Amino acid sequence: MKLVRAANNLFLFELGFREKELLLQVLRLYPRIPPAAQKLSKRGQLPDQQSSERLLQEALAEHRSENQRQVQTLLTQPQRLVPSTTGWRLTLSAGDLEWVLQVLNDIRVGSWINLGSPDSAVPPLTEQNAPDLWAMELAGMFQMRFLEAVEGRK
CB 139 within 8 A of CB 113: no
Measured CA to CA, the distance from residue 78 to residue 149 in angstroms comes to 23
Its domain, for residue 58, covers 2-152
pLDDT for 76-122, tens place per residue? Answer: 888 899 999 999 999 999 999 999 999 999 999 999 999 999 887 88
What's this model's pTM, rounded to 2 decimal places? Answer: 0.85
What is the gyration radius of the CA atoms in the chain, in angstroms? 18
As a whole number of angstroms, the distance between CA 103 and CA 26 comes to: 10
**How many structural domains does the chain have?**
1
* Per-residue pLDDT tens digits for 45-68: 667 767 777 887 788 888 888 888
Q: Torsions phi, psi of 34, nearest 5? A: -60, 140
Query: Residue 37: pLDDT band by 50, 70, 90 thresholds?
Result: low
